[in-house]
Amino acid sequence: MSIQSKFSKLGTQNAPGQEGRQSAAGTQDFLRGEKLDGIPVDFSHGDVDAHEPTPGAFEAFCAGVELGGAQAYTEYRGDLSIRDGVAAKLATFTGAEVDANDGLIITPGTQGALFLAVAATMMRGDKVAIVQPDYFANRKLVEFFEGEIVPVQLRYRDAAQGQAGLDLTELEAAFQAGARLFLFSNPNNPSGVVYSADEVADIAALARRYGATVIVDQLYSRLLYQGVSYTHLRAMDIDPENVVTIMGPSKTESLSGYRLGVAFGSREIIGRMEKLQAIVSLRAAGYSQAVLRTWFNEPDGWMADRIAQHQAIRDDLITLFRGIDGCFVRTPDAGSYLFPQLPDLTIAPADFVKALRMLGGVTVTPGTEFSPHTANSIRLNFSQDHAAAVAAVERLSTLLDRYRA
Amino acid sequence: MSIQSKFSKLGTQNAPGQEGRQSAAGTQDFLRGEKLDGIPVDFSHGDVDAHEPTPGAFEAFCAGVELGGAQAYTEYRGDLSIRDGVAAKLATFTGAEVDANDGLIITPGTQGALFLAVAATMMRGDKVAIVQPDYFANRKLVEFFEGEIVPVQLRYRDAAQGQAGLDLTELEAAFQAGARLFLFSNPNNPSGVVYSADEVADIAALARRYGATVIVDQLYSRLLYQGVSYTHLRAMDIDPENVVTIMGPSKTESLSGYRLGVAFGSREIIGRMEKLQAIVSLRAAGYSQAVLRTWFNEPDGWMADRIAQHQAIRDDLITLFRGIDGCFVRTPDAGSYLFPQLPDLTIAPADFVKALRMLGGVTVTPGTEFSPHTANSIRLNFSQDHAAAVAAVERLSTLLDRYRA
């Protein structure tokens, strides 16, 4: 394999946030009708101007700068006193002990944590069970490290409310075929479904039976909508050395600009992750680490308000999508992603995504990023200005009519 | 190979900044005499309290936070307007064009740039020419990606002043043996020598002849002492697509706490680096990127003052080391590293490094991190409080006498 072909699998052309690098060449072949007026909305990521960073985050950063060298140069796994505070909060949140000294690492974003966790748990040629659909980097990470992906379907369309719809038979078959690593997001990105207590218990039981390691990305596990309960895998009956949990304050808390994530759990894997972080990025930005002092420490009522605002946007957008003929969307249990399936169109879904951006000022992420089976779905991060998001989905509806098959 | 053995090569036990994680077990076997009083000095990295961040850096960060979402979510390769500004400054500084759109990427620190550059230019099994001694991550990166290191000696002890002492015959032999990647730091970390114009021209000529790619880490190329001239490889007669230059404001400018680096040059390699960054860390922290607006834009006289302060510390420490019987040290041309070779001792150098820290409050980095041939050398980052650094080297001298063979 040449390095060119290795990197060709890591395409970022359709990745969220990279749309500005796309060429407009060829789009005249399928652009139809006039541009639609309205405030442009970039659903490829959340709008941290509409939903501002946690109160106190900036002040915590400034205090870190004030502290100087001690905050700029931390251990590679992050400052110990900050790890102490975060570990205690995460133990309470997840319902299982977190070892601040050896069982937690602070990383540059949850992406940094995911990269290190995968690199520290698989070798070239290893089989890795990956959910379809799931966060696009999961697949790319396994490909980059030359592993073999064993897909496990998430039948979120057909699952009962309260179930994510993981095909547990396929997961067991993956383990039987030799996979010893399972990587998944809960809540699922892109569909927003939360795995039920039974599903999480079944994953734990299978991991136990086959001695498999599980990496679970719980980035959105704090933003749960009314009536939804959440089960933490690490609190189940499972060898704690076989679980790595990944979280971070970038999404719900709108702290993306500081690039912070954490991975916690298995001491051995966290130890390897730190060794690798030493040559990947040394550490999460020292001053930024100080912002973690505000995490799980938000003002009273702040999180409830944030959830209520997102639930209101979710509900309005769901109503709009349900009014579009031929469109399917499941109501997300958590997080800020919608993953509607579009009706049949006269152009390729990838071209519709471009037309939507060029004619409607609406940026979404194509479904192919998440699974080969969801090409006719799109992902929207609805952590946006409420009115602008509603208007943008109305423009999307208008444009669907222009291209409807 | 098991994942355990793969990661065992990535030891961080003796890495700078990780000393706090070492156990004291066994040290009673070699600790000799009383502790020495004095302000502890950690020479494993620079002291950003003694040499403060560039004026305006914090304000630029705050302006980035103020800008909000547009600064938090940039292209993976970094914000275009910031890349524009930095590219122009780097073109002037290095004497060759920099393409802001396609030929520059902003990374989480220069470590991030190094990781991506190596990952984007070598495949498993590839031979890679690595200088001995050189920055320890260079070797570890090649090992992590399962390449084969072809060492090239830097005979800095024997080279004339004005020459770094690279063994060009060995470099050519490495290329003849099939290496198509050469990775080196200039100024050299740890020795502080700068490659002469002739040496850089010879490297360019060899790279041309063998079609090799060169990654040059120029992290310290702004901190040049009186009378030293610096030659930029990328401005020589060499295919610009075969050169990646790495710099960053973390050292001379004391901006380490923001974690910023850049790589620039080859459009194809930078493109691959961005694809990889998308799954490694997404981007350098968005708000931090704004700090790059102050880079190469420091107040008049600020850089001259910073250099003068470091030259004064350098000269005092050099005088002290030259007064120690059996110690060799070359005067660094640039940067803030000293790499003295210690006299023969009655204990292993690694144990002396521990004794120095425990008895003298002086932290240094063992020479084994940089080359298998420099076990009896130590690296000191002398970007410290001047008086504290002088006193620390005096304690080091006292402790050498306790352990002298």
pLDDT tens digits, one per residue of B296-347: 999 999 999 999 999 999 999 999 999 999 999 999 999 999 999 999 999 9
Cβ B276 vs Cβ B270: under 8 Å: no
Checking if the pLDDT of B6 tops 90, the result is: no
Does A280 contact B12 at a Cβ distance shorter than 8 Å?
no
Kindly report, residue by residue over B256-296, the tens digit of the pLDDT: 999 999 999 999 999 999 999 999 999 999 999 999 999 99
The whole-angstrom distance between B165's CA and the closest CA on chain A is 27
A121 pLDDT tier (thresholds 50, 70, 90): very high
Q: Which of B72, B75, B288 sits opposite A285 (nearest CB)?
A: B288
> Which chain B residues are within 8 Å of A106, Cβ to Cβ?
none
If you measure CA to CA, which chain B residue comes closest to A21? B75
Kindly report, residue by residue over B158-182, the tens digit of the pLDDT: 999 899 999 999 999 999 999 999 9
Does B71 contact A257 at a Cβ distance shorter than 8 Å?
yes
- Angle between helices B302-322 and B386-403 in degrees, nearest 10: 20
Q: First vs last Cα of chain B: how many Å apart?
A: 41
pLDDT, mean over chain B: 96
Q: Which of B7, B21, B274 sits opposite A272 (nearest CB)?
A: B7
Q: Which of B102, B217, B259, B365 to mutate to test the interface with A (most CBs of A within 10 A)?
A: B259
Residue B262's CB is within 10 A of a number of other CB atoms, namely 28
Cα A350 versus chain centre, distance: 21
The torsion defined by the Cα of A170, A171, A175 and A181, in degrees rounded to 10, comes to 140
Does B76 contact A18 at a Cβ distance shorter than 8 Å?
yes
| Residue listed under structure tokens 């469109």 | A327
The whole-number pLDDT of residue A14 equals 74
If you measure CA to CA, which chain B residue comes closest to A101? B21
Kindly report, residue by residue over A360-394, the tens digit of the pLDDT: 999 999 999 999 999 999 999 999 999 999 999 99
The whole-angstrom distance between B271's CA and the closest CA on chain A is 10
Q: Which residue blocks in A120-220 are alpha helix, DSSP H?
A: 136-144, 168-176, 197-210
The whole-number pLDDT of residue B404 equals 96
Chain A with chain B: Cβ pairs closer than 8 A: 188
Mean pLDDT of A71-94: 97
- The structure tokens listed for B143 are 């090992």
Does A286 contact B257 at a Cβ distance shorter than 8 Å?
yes
C-alpha to C-alpha distance for B88 and A255, rounded to whole angstroms: 30
Mean pLDDT of B236-259: 96
Q: Which of B112, B140, B278 sits opposite A12 (nearest CB)?
A: B278
> Which chain B residues are within 8 Å of A82, Cβ to Cβ?
none
Is B7 or A240 the better-scoring residue by pLDDT?
A240
C-alpha to C-alpha distance for B141 and A102, rounded to whole angstroms: 24
The whole-angstrom distance between A69's CA and the closest CA on chain B is 5
C-alpha to C-alpha distance for B192 and B146, rounded to whole angstroms: 29
Q: Which of A69, A111, A122 sits opposite B49 (nearest CB)?
A: A69
The whole-number pLDDT of residue B245 equals 98
Mean pLDDT of B97-111: 98
Residues whose CB falls within 8 Å of the CB of residue B249, separated by 6 or more in sequence, listed in order:
B54, B255, B258, B260, B291, B292, B294, B295
The whole-angstrom distance between A283's CA and the closest CA on chain B is 8
Does A123 contact B1 at a Cβ distance shorter than 8 Å?
yes
C-alpha to C-alpha distance for A111 and A109, rounded to whole angstroms: 5
Q: Exposure of A401 by Cβ count < 10 A (0-12 exposed, 13-18 middle, 19+ buried)?
A: exposed
Does A257 contact B72 at a Cβ distance shorter than 8 Å?
yes
Checking if the pLDDT of A144 tops 90, the result is: yes
Cβ A303 vs Cβ B39: under 8 Å: no
Kindly report, residue by residue over A154-204, the tens digit of the pLDDT: 999 999 989 999 999 999 999 999 999 999 999 999 999 999 999 999 999
| Residue listed under structure tokens 């010879």 | B202
Q: Which of A259, A269, A270 to mutate to test the interface with B (most CBs of B within 10 A)?
A: A259
ipTM for this prediction? 0.96
Q: First vs last Cα of chain A: how many Å apart?
A: 41
Q: Which of B9, B66, B140, B282 to mutate to test the interface with A (most CBs of A within 10 A)?
A: B282
Does B259 contact A282 at a Cβ distance shorter than 8 Å?
yes
Cβ A356 vs Cβ A393: under 8 Å: no
If you measure CA to CA, which chain B residue comes closest to A69? B48
The whole-number pLDDT of residue B19 equals 76
Kindly report, residue by residue over B9-37, the tens digit of the pLDDT: 887 777 777 777 777 777 888 999 999 99
DSSP bridge partners of B380: B338
If you measure CA to CA, which chain A residue comes closest to B289? A257
